[in-house]
Amino acid sequence: MRPYHKIPIVECGEPLVEIPLELFAVESPHPYEKLGAPYGDRSPYFLRQSVVDSLIAAQENLQLLHPDWNLQIFDAYRPVAVQKFMVNYAFGEALQMAGLTEAELSPDKSQAIWEEVYKIWAEPSLDEKTPPPHSTGAAVDVTLVDDAGEIVEMGSPIDEMSERSHPDYFANSSDPLAQQHHTNRQLLCNVMEKAGFQRNPREWWHFSLGDQMWAWLNNETNPTHPVIARYGRVV
C-alpha cells in the first residue's frame, strides 16, 4: 500500500480519449512498445478528456515562456498488463545491473531488489481500490524539448531507478550543470502545476490529475480543502 491508496475513488466515468499528438513532441516508437509491452488494441497515447485538456494548457504555459519549446510525451495510459510487464522488466534490469541471475538470488536479496523496483514502479494491482496511477488514464510521463528539437537535459533519464530521479536531487548542488538540471526540472513542474497537475515526489517526470496520488498530494498541501480521486482503473 502507498500513502495515496487511502484516498477513496468515486469514478466519474469520463472517457479515455486520444492525445492530439500533433501538438506535442513524442518519442517514436513508443518506448515500452519497443520492449514488447502487451498493449493489445490499446494505445499508450490516451488520457482522460480533462487530463488531455490540462496537458494542452500546460503546453500553452510552456510556450508563453519558450515559444518554440514543447512538452514531450514519454508515456500516458498503461493497462495493468503493461504495468506488470514493465515491473518485471525493471526487475530484470536491476538484476543485470547487480551482476546477478535469479538462480543466484537469496530471498533477502530478491526482496531488496523488489523494494528498489517499487520505489519507482507502482504495483500492477487489479484491486479497484489500488489502481496503478497510469492505469487510470490520469497520469502522464513528460519531459521538455527545446527549439532545436533536442530533449532538455534533466540530469537523469526517465525511469532511472536511483535517487537522481527525485525531483529535488540537484537542488542544493553548487555545480552549475547540476543547478541547470534543477532549473529545467522546475520549469517542467511549474508549467504542469499551473495547469492543475501534481508531481510524483519520487519522479521528476511523472504528473497526474484526478487520480489518488493527485488527491493525496493536494490534501497534504491543502488539508482544509480535501479532495477525492475521480478516476479509477480503466478496464
By three-state DSSP, how is residue 91 classified? helix
Interatomic CA distance for residues 115 and 101, integer angstroms: 17
Active-site option among 116, 163, 203, 220: 203
Instruction: Report residue 119 CA to chain centroid gap.
Output: 13
Distance (Å, whole) CA 134 – CA 112: 24
C-alpha cell at 54: 490540462
Q: What's the CA gap between 197 and 189, in Å, rounded?
A: 9
- Is 203 known to be catalytic? yes
Q: What is the DSSP string of 110-150?
A: HHHHHHHHHHHSPP----TTS--GGGGT-EEEEEEE-TTSP
What positions carry a catalytic annotation?
203
